[in-house]
Amino acid sequence: MAVASAYLARPGRPAVVARTLAELAGPTGGIVELPVRLMWSSERAFDLGDPDELLWMYENVLRETTRVADLRELIHAPTLRRVWPLLNLPRGVRLAWEGRHPGLRAA
């Protein structure tokens, strides 16, 4: 189950945060195509072997998701910890995740 926080990903949309990092078991390589609900562009495929594409995909998922299932399926906990300081996220998303998972702040 997701935690809907008081922090907003954008006006009117609460940031969605996984209850535990352990439940985040997304892919670690290959090509991932995001569903339209997470990425409206026709360019929705991301090569996780390309560091810039991986960051772009994570930013989109963390910013746009409204359901924890997306987090579980698309985000990988060790990868999230590794790239956390590099992610360009709305302030509300960053605060929501760091509030629930303080270890990310130290990453």
Give me the pLDDT at residue 1, please: 46
Hey, is 27 helix, strand or coil? coil
- Model-level pTM greater than 0.85? yes
> Predicted confidence band at 106 (pLDDT cuts at 50, 70, 90)?
confident
State whether the Cα torsion 79-81-87-92 is positive or negative.
positive
Give me the pLDDT at residue 57, please: 97
pLDDT tens digits, 1-20:
455 556 888 777 889 999 99
Question: Cβ contacts of residue 91 below 8 Å, gap of 6+?
Answer: 7
* Mean of pLDDT over the chain: 92
pLDDT tens digits, 30-85:
999 999 999 888 899 999 999 999 999 999 999 999 999 999 999 999 999 999 99
